[in-house]
Amino acid sequence: MNQIGKLQTRLALTLIEVGLTVAGISAVITPLLLWASWSKFVFYLVLSVGCGAFLAFIGLAHIRGRLIGEGLPSKDVLGLKNVRQLMADWDRLQEHDSGVLRKQRTIKGDARREFVFMMRIVIGLILGVAAVFLAVYAGFEFAYG
């Protein structure tokens, strides 16, 4: 591909990414705006803009996939065969690999140590706050009591 074609593709992808961002933000804030709408006209206007944002997001994502070259085989419309095969391969690997089991035990041990460490910090913070409140309370009782 020549330099101009690469530049045009990069520019198109940048514009699509900007469009995806704007459509995504519009779709995300639609429920809040629906809740805050003050009239039927505004409600339906926000609802139509939100639905349009969802449709624009789906369309732009499809166009981006076509530009990048992502595509699904014609026989496997949803791509489920590939996902099922990957899941089966992963399960088979997990069952027969002793290194994976050792890592899982190590992760569980690390998680237990981290949890105990965090509980110590929480208890220390609670005791520290209690000590400060007790000192302030004692100070007020002494001064104004």
Report the pLDDT value the prediction gives residue 39, as an integer from 0 to 100.
86
pLDDT, mean of residues 128-133: 95
Instruction: Summarize pLDDT for 56-92 with one digit per residue, the tens.
Output: 888 888 888 877 776 555 565 566 777 778 888 877 7
For 105, the token pair is 């035990």
Report the pLDDT value the prediction gives residue 1, as an integer from 0 to 100.
54
Q: Which residues have CB under 8 Å from 27's CB, separation 6+?
A: 50, 53, 54, 57
Report the pLDDT value the prediction gives residue 75, as an integer from 0 to 100.
61
Neighbours of 125 (CB within 10 A): 10
Instruction: Summarize pLDDT for 4-34 with one digit per residue, the tens.
Output: 677 787 888 888 888 888 888 888 888 888 8
Task: Output phi, psi for 31, to 5 deg.
Answer: -60, -40
Q: Looking at residue 69, what DSSP letter applies? A: T
Report the pLDDT value the prediction gives residue 76, as an integer from 0 to 100.
57
pTM: 0.45
For 108, the token pair is 């569980």
Q: Which long-range contacts (CB under 8 A, 24 or more apart) does 12-18 make?
A: 12/67, 13/64, 13/67, 13/68, 16/60, 16/63, 16/64, 16/67, 17/64
d(CA 57, CA 11): 18
pLDDT, mean of residues 113-139: 93
Report the pLDDT value the prediction gives residue 73, as an integer from 0 to 100.
56
Average pLDDT of the chain is: 81
CA triplet 55, 30, 39: central angle to 5 degrees? Answer: 120
Asked if 24 and 68 touch (Cβ cutoff 8 Å), the reply is no
